[in-house]
Chain A
Amino acid sequence: SQQGEEDPQALSIQEGENATMNCSYKTSINNLQWYRQNSGRGLVHLILIRSNEREKHSGRLRVTLDTSKKSSSLLITASRAADTASYFCATRPQGAQKLVFGQGTRLTINP
């Protein structure tokens, strides 16, 4: 698989439930960032986790990073209809300035 692969590709849950999305990557990284994209719109930055961090929280978001497994997860607690969007992880490889994006997870929150 390519750098920054998310799973599942699509996730549909009921409002109020928790949503978990996973991301795997191949190379050593400086940091990993999660972005949200509403249909046809821009990318909104959610959270950044550095390579020496294991867990980070921001409001209803919880991100974990396991550099030994080269994987990360994004947990959204108490989901709302407004959380419906595509979620992308993006890694900044060591020595590079670019972000490498995954294919994304399409999250649908049903009212």
Chain B
Amino acid sequence: EPEVTQTPSHQVTQMGQEVILRCVPISNHLYFYWYRQILGQKVEFLVSFYNNEISEKSEIFDDQFSVERPDGSNFTLKIRSTKLEDSAMYFCASARWTSGTSTDTQYFGPGTRLTVL
């Protein structure tokens, strides 16, 4: 069964450094998402991406964040200058989302645990 994959599984970085989190969505999916989960808290939506552009974003997704689909398979989240409060588990998700239906199951990857020191 196809799966969403994410690399790395754990990233440790110094405050102020740039990080890039990578995801490979399921191959025939067209909608891509990033969420994050701070330890012990709920999963929060960051951004959705369709047709090579951001289709929706949350207040968390400020100028420090960017997303890109550099080729036909990868989807990346970049944090330009990490802060301590960016420490969290970051989940990538993808969905096929057939137009006209609401059966848009989002399939999540295993996550990247980001630790900012």
Contact = CB atoms under 8 A, between A and B. Distances in A.
Interface string B67-103: 0000000000000000000000101000001000011
B52 to A, nearest CB: 15
B42 A48 contact: no
B42 A31 contact: no
Contact of B102 (A43, A92, A101): A92
Name the residue among A41, A50, A101, A103 with the largest chain B CB count within 10 angstroms: A101
A50 B103 contact: yes
A10 to B, nearest CB: 13
Contacts, number: 64
Interface in B28-73: 31, 33, 35, 41-45, 48, 50, 55-56, 58
Contacts of A42: 91, 108-111
Given A50-B103, A101-B44, A43 B58 contact: no
A30 B43 CA distance: 19
Interface residues of A, number: 26
A97 B44 contact: no
A61 interface: no
Nearest to A94: B102
A31 B109 contact: no
9 contacts: A33-B105, A42-B91, A43-B43, A88-B42, A96-B56, A98-B33, A98-B48, A99-B43, A102-B42
Given A35-B108, A98-B48, 20 more contacts: A31-B102, A33-B105, A40-B113, A41-B110, A42-B110, A42-B111, A43-B43, A43-B91, A45-B106, A45-B107, A48-B105, A97-B31, A97-B33, A98-B56, A99-B35, A99-B45, A101-B35, A101-B43, A102-B42, A103-B41
